[in-house]
Amino acid sequence: MGAMFFGKKDQLVGLDIGSSQIKVAVLKSTAKGHVLHKLGMTSIPSGLIDEGRIMDADAVADIIRTLFKSQRIKHKNVAISTGGYSVVVKTIVLPTVTEKELVSSIRTEAEQYIPYDIDDVNLDFQILGPSEFSDDQMNVLLVAVKKDLVAEYIDLINQAGLNPCIIDVDSFALQNMYESIYQPADDEMALLVDVGCSKTSLNILNGKHSMMMRDSASGTAQILDDIMAEIDCSPDRADEILAGTPDSEIPQARLEEICFDSIQLWCSEIEAVVKSHISKSNEGDIDKVIISGGGAFVSGFVDLLAVELSATVSIIDPFQGIIVDHKQFSSSFLHGIRAQAPIAMGLSLRKMDDK
């Protein structure tokens, strides 16, 4: 889309609300490409958001308002995303029908795959293409989001004085960003791993098609709990220690042990999901793994995962191919925020007419 069609009213602010950090991004589409216009991140005290559910909307709305002020963001139209237990994303195999036919039958088909009452969820689907096992079947990506979760986020955004235009799913926003940066080849098998505070999302991609998405309840929260148990400190202090602030109470070697226990667990969970997917489908092995989220920086994770999956593993670089003014955003700032920025950036790339 050329710059001339891109009116101010269509500009979306990407707002990624995690359980430990809130990130905000504005990307502008110009004739030369995407320009990074705004980017910021702020911590939220633990307990305000728990497994994707908002525990204290007043406090979170305040934090969002303050973040918009400090970043001098005037746009009110936001794209947000959700994840966690209230969101179900599954690839299912159905008899081949047209999209129109599927619209009328999707609720019935979906019922057996969703652990919630079908009347309590918003359903969406995407036809991925023919099944690799049978000519008269097709793969369908099914997305169900609990209505009360959507309402919770819409209320929160309105309370922050903003206008919620798009509610996406974390994994899709991340995939959107990944495709736009890396332009994967059609037959390339990639695994996106997003390790947040309270969840890890996995997405196996063949080219630009998601073959499997899965969320697990692992995340950096486990490490923070272990640090707090070890030296009896506050959640914020544990956060600083994990981020690399030295602490005399906890020797570096002990900290590495604590981290290693968690990354071993993450890696074996990831390996189990990947192995089971590869054995069930007739696709090849994973060519490359791209890690994002706050857990990406936990020492040893990248190396251990590369060994477990025998694949190249790297931390995402969402600024690749994006036009950045280094006077406005220092290289060290971008380097430090690179794993946490992609979802907010992917959300800002959405256009108003997207679903």
**What beta strand segments (E) does 18-162 contain?**
21-30, 33-43, 49-50, 53-54, 77-82, 87-95, 121-130, 137-146
- Count Cβ atoms within 10 A of the Cβ of residue 49 and give its class: 0-12 exposed, 13-18 middle, 19 or more buried: buried
Tens digits of residue pLDDT in 307-323: 999 999 999 999 999 99
> Which of 14-18, 108-112, 167-171 is most confident?
14-18
> Residue 2 has what pLDDT?
32
Q: What number is the average pLDDT over the span 68-79?
A: 96
Q: How far is CA 5 from the centre of its chain?
A: 29
Q: How much of the chain exceeds pLDDT 90, in percent?
A: 69
| Cβ neighbours of 4 (radius 10 Å) | 7
Domain assignment present for residue 101? The answer is yes
Band (102; pLDDT cuts 50, 70, 90): very high
Q: What is the distance between the alpha carbons of residues 345 and 173, in angstroms, rounded to a whole number?
A: 8
For residue 122, pLDDT over 60 is answered with: yes
Per the listing, tokens 């690799």 go with 132
- Count Cβ atoms within 10 A of the Cβ of residue 161 and give its class: 0-12 exposed, 13-18 middle, 19 or more buried: exposed
For residue 10, pLDDT over 90 is answered with: no
Dihedral angle over CA of 284, 139, 127, 192, nearest 10: -40
Band (233; pLDDT cuts 50, 70, 90): very high
- Residue 145 forms beta bridges with which residues? 87, 122
Q: What number is the average pLDDT over the span 16-45?
A: 94
Q: Which residue has the higher pLDDT, 3 or 162?
A: 162
Domain span at 220: 3-225+252-348
Q: How far is CA 139 from the centre of its chain?
A: 23
- What CATH number is attached to the domain comprising 160? 3.30.420.40
Helix (H, G, I), strand (E, B) or coil at 33: strand
Q: What number is the average pLDDT over the span 102-118?
A: 91
Per the listing, tokens 């190396």 go with 303
Residue 293 gets the label, from left (phi > 0), alpha (psi -120 to 50) or beta, of left
Band (66; pLDDT cuts 50, 70, 90): very high
User: Nearest-5° angle of CA 163, CA 168, CA 172?
Assistant: 150
Task: Please give the mean pLDDT across all residues of the chain.
Answer: 90
For residue 236, pLDDT over 80 is answered with: yes
**What beta strand segments (E) does 44-150 contain?**
49-50, 53-54, 77-82, 87-95, 121-130, 137-146
User: Which residue from 188, 218, 187, 220 is spatially nearest to 202, judged by alpha carbons?
Assistant: 218
Nearest-Å Rg of the Cα atoms of the chain is 20
Domain assignment present for residue 172? The answer is yes
Q: What number is the average pLDDT over the span 226-248?
A: 89
Band (131; pLDDT cuts 50, 70, 90): confident
> Residue 118 has what pLDDT?
93
Q: Which residue has the higher pLDDT, 68 or 282?
A: 68
Domain assignment present for residue 315? The answer is yes
Band (80; pLDDT cuts 50, 70, 90): very high
Band (355; pLDDT cuts 50, 70, 90): very low
Q: Which residue has the higher pLDDT, 14 or 50?
A: 14
Among the ranges given (21-35, 84-98, 151-165), the one the predictor scored with the smallest mean pLDDT = 84-98
Band (167; pLDDT cuts 50, 70, 90): very high
Domain assignment present for residue 355? The answer is no
Q: What number is the average pLDDT over the span 84-88?
A: 81
Q: What is the distance between the alpha carbons of residues 51 and 324, in angstroms, rounded to a whole number?
A: 33
Domain count, the chain: 1
> Residue 301 has what pLDDT?
96
Q: What is the distance between the alpha carbons of residues 60 and 229, in angstroms, rounded to a whole number?
A: 27
Tens digits of residue pLDDT in 337-350: 999 999 999 999 98
| Cβ neighbours of 330 (radius 10 Å) | 10
Listed in sequence order, the residues at least 6 apart from 43 whose beta carbon sits closer than 8 Å to its beta carbon are: 20, 21, 236, 239
Domain assignment present for residue 354? The answer is no
Band (37; pLDDT cuts 50, 70, 90): very high
> Which of 52-56, 84-88, 191-195 is most confident?
191-195
> Residue 27 has what pLDDT?
95
Q: What is the distance between the alpha carbons of residues 26 and 78, in angstroms, rounded to a whole number?
A: 10
- Count Cβ atoms within 10 A of the Cβ of residue 120 and give its class: 0-12 exposed, 13-18 middle, 19 or more buried: middle
Domain assignment present for residue 353? The answer is no
Give Dmax (Cα) for the chain: 64
Domain assignment present for residue 247? The answer is no
> Residue 8 has what pLDDT?
46
Domain assignment present for residue 183? The answer is yes
